[in-house]
Amino acid sequence: MKLAVLISGSGSNLQAFIEACASGELSASIALVLSNRPGAGGLARAEAEGIATLTIDHRDFASREAFDRAMLDALEPVAPDLVILAGFMRILTPAFIAAFRGRLLNIHPSLLPKYPGLNTHQRALDAGDSEVGATVHFVTEELDGGPPLLFARVPVAAGDDAGALADKVQRREHVIYPLAARWFVEGRLALRNNQALLDGQVLPGNGIDLDAIRD
């Protein structure tokens, strides 16, 4: 299977996919890394592995629709089986979502449905939450509202600030994101009627807890 990975930043989740493809955890290859930010750290990680990269700067486009059209045009010859949003920071238009419906995943740094959108860890701290986390979900038109697949929880320790939580959560992201992608690559995942199915069974509304499936 061919993956396309969309990034905006450092690309630590991209790195987890690079390693999962190299180790055989994922029977897939990364056909393209696409960034909307020139100089994003993930571009250098991809180049170091000989993976094709492309930057499409959203600031060069008059509208979100035009930006998404340019990304679709770039992805068409690549024909990815699965598109991975890995710290990709631009809200996608319905035309983009429709082109990859059921083949488009995101990782969001919260325990969805809590805290869709930005600044998730600070919002969890402000609310006095005792745990934070990350969730892999199918992407739909509803921002961070597509059906969850897999999540990992991280306890909040005394003195943790948003940056400390982001570091701890990202370490779990690098476990759950390739694992959920593996389900897809193995043909076990589907999006039907806005519900996520694993092996034909509807997943719980929050997805599966990593703690429930690891030994």
Question: Interface residues with ligand NHR (CB under 6 A)?
Answer: 85, 88-92, 97, 106, 108, 117-118, 139, 141, 143-144, 146
CB of 159 to ligand GAR, least distance (A): 20
Separation CA 196–CA 154 (nearest Å): 24
Q: Which does 31 bind (CB under 5 to 8 A by kind): ligand NHR, ligand GAR, none?
A: none
Q: Which does 25 bind (CB under 5 to 8 A by kind): ligand NHR, ligand GAR, none?
A: none
Local structure of residue 93 (DSSP, 8 states): P
Q: Is residue 169 a contact partner of residue 154, using CB atoms and an 8 Å limit?
A: yes
Q: Is residue 71 a contact partner of residue 56, using CB atoms and an 8 Å limit?
A: yes
Between CA 15 and CA 121, with CA 155 as vertex, the angle to 5 degrees is 65
Residues found near ligand GAR in the complex (CB under 6 A):
7, 9-13, 42, 86-87, 89, 107-109, 134, 170, 173
Bridge partners of residue 107, in order along the sequence: 136
Q: Which does 209 bind (CB under 5 to 8 A by kind): ligand GAR, ligand NHR, none?
A: none
Q: Which is nearer to ligand GAR, 15 or 196 (CB)?
A: 15
- 135-to-38, 76, 130, 139, 150 alpha-carbon distances in Å: 27, 28, 17, 12, 6
Q: Which is nearer to ligand GAR, 26 or 186 (CB)?
A: 26
Centroid of chain to Cα 39: 20
Comparing every residue's Cβ against ligand GAR, the nearest one is: 87
| Catalytic residue status for 108 | yes
